[in-house]
Amino acid sequence: MPATIDATAVSALADEPLDWRYKGLPSQWWGRTPAQVCADGTGPFAAGALGPLCVLSEPALEHNLATMARWCHSRGVELAPHGKTHMAPQLLARQFDAGAQAVTLATISQVRTFRAFGANTVVLANELVDDAGLRWLSMELDVDPDFALVCWVDSVRGVELMSSALAAAGARRPVDVCVEVGIPGGRTGCRAADELDGVARAAADCGRLRLVGVAGYEAATGHGTSQEARDRVRTYLRDVHSAVDRVAPIVESDEVIVTAGGSTYFDLVADELSGWTGQRPIRTVLRSGCYLTHDDGLYRRTSPLGGPSGLRPALTVWAQVMSRPEPDLALVTMGRRDVSFDQDLPVPYGLADSAVTKLNDQHAYLHVGRADRDRVEVGTWLEFGVSHPCTVFDKWQMIPVLDGDGRVVELVRTFF
């Protein structure tokens, strides 16, 4: 079944008037719709944007969508991008148009959000044991035969809880599940082969669930790029491969799903979770989320497509210099409320010898090198690259998408 989203619901976002709720946007846009703003062919700064302002690059988005689609096609893998990165139906629609097979989500609340926009194929990359969530999911599956969702199981107790809640809800359709392979010291997932086999058998024997495959997350212990780190990931992925070989005979669907792949090691996933033999088709599904915008920090360093001809940073934050209290210090109108800092600090564009050293809630401390002192004045607008886009998107409810000339071509709404 092709992945779809309700185009009418998504396009309706362009007709909702803008107002004061959307930080950074020009006040002269208030009362106007995104469609009207885009029709003007102007940019946010010419219209009076307030700092800070988060923006997306249309050329970089298009490049990244095409680059990842080509890469997946060349490696024979499918893509279910992680929607928690952006929580933006407009961006998911682009990912589906570029060939993505499903949307991955982390919580049942995120599933509800994208279901409100008609997303029909969902990977819930966790075990769902919440009674209320299972009741809601049961209702969605029963009323919409075209809705497909798969989630994880990693314990017999989890299987029992899911089965009990679905029975109490009177579910007519079973919930598809993948048994999850964990990493010692990592996150969720079965730690031992015999444990995993027991959970898989319990799921297959449960009439309220349908076992469809095996899941894993190879970056659960970090994003290192050393040979040692990559070798550890390969060892883990070979455990996932072995689990597929063991579980495949009791899988209840016509094809077996094997899914892994964050945004750092998806090349290793394609290497190790391939070369399948046997009677039943096996689908290898990646769940990378950050490829769409890439970044100037974590994923520039670690992505398999992070080189000069690979993915491009598409998400930046603009802010103004508000104070120059010392020769080598500038205070900028951008802080923890506006930009990510959980992986690396923001990276200033266009400066030869300067760096952000600290963030407060609403301020960035910019160390200004000698080569840049004449260029960083009070009132100067600066553009900053980010590290880890997931924790930038959730700080912005509306993000302008700019073409190569800085004109607004779309306003993207997020739903965190």
Could you say which DSSP state residue 17 is in?
P
C-alpha distances (whole Å) from 248 to each of 116, 152, 202, 239, 252 are 34, 16, 14, 14, 9
Count Cβ atoms below 10 Å from residue 201 Cβ, excluding itself: 16
Low-confidence ranges of the chain (pLDDT < 50): none
Q: Give one word for 197, left, alpha or beta, with left for phi > 0 and alpha for psi -120 to 50.
A: alpha
pLDDT of residue 309: 81
Q: What pTM did the predictor assign? A: 0.97
In the structure encoding, which two tokens stand for residue 229, read together? 């780190």
pLDDT of residue 266: 97
Task: Please report, for the chain, the start and end positions of each structural domain, with discontinuous segments joined by +.
Answer: 7-58+310-413, 120-290
CA torsion, ordered 391, 393, 395, 399, to nearest 10 deg:
160
pLDDT of residue 193: 98
CA pair distance 237, 257, nearest whole angstrom: 14
Which amino acid type is present at position 178? C
Cα Rg of the chain, angstroms: 23
CA pair distance 56, 403, nearest whole angstrom: 9
Q: Which residues on neighbouring strands pair with residue 383, listed in sequence order? A: 318
What size, in residues, is the chain? 416
3-state secondary structure of 231: helix
Read off φ and ψ for residue 313, nearest 5 degrees.
Answer: -60, 130
Q: 361-398, pLDDT tens digit by residue?
A: 999 999 999 999 999 999 999 999 999 999 999 999 99
Count Cβ atoms below 10 Å from residue 87 Cβ, excluding itself: 19
Q: Are 10 and 117 in contact (CB under 8 A)?
A: yes
Q: 261-312, pLDDT tens digit by residue?
A: 899 999 999 999 998 987 789 999 999 999 999 999 999 999 999 888 899 9
Element of type H or E holding 238: helix 227-247
What sign for the dihedral angle of Cα 15, 19, 24, 25? Answer: positive
Q: Which CATH class is domain 120-290?
A: alpha beta
Helix then strand count (H, E) for the chain reads 12, 17
Query: Residue 251 class from Cβ within 10 Å (0-12 exposed, 13-18 middle, 19+ buried)?
Result: buried
CA pair distance 181, 213, nearest whole angstrom: 11
CA torsion, ordered 146, 152, 156, 159, to nearest 10 deg:
-20
- What is the CATH code of the structural domain delimited by 7-58+310-413? 2.40.37.20
In the structure encoding, which two tokens stand for residue 44, read together? 């946010």
pLDDT of residue 124: 98
CA pair distance 330, 336, nearest whole angstrom: 16
Which of 32, 33, 30 has its CA nearest to residue 11?
33
Count Cβ atoms below 10 Å from residue 99 Cβ, excluding itself: 17
CA pair distance 389, 312, nearest whole angstrom: 13
Q: Are 139 and 170 in contact (CB under 8 A)?
A: no
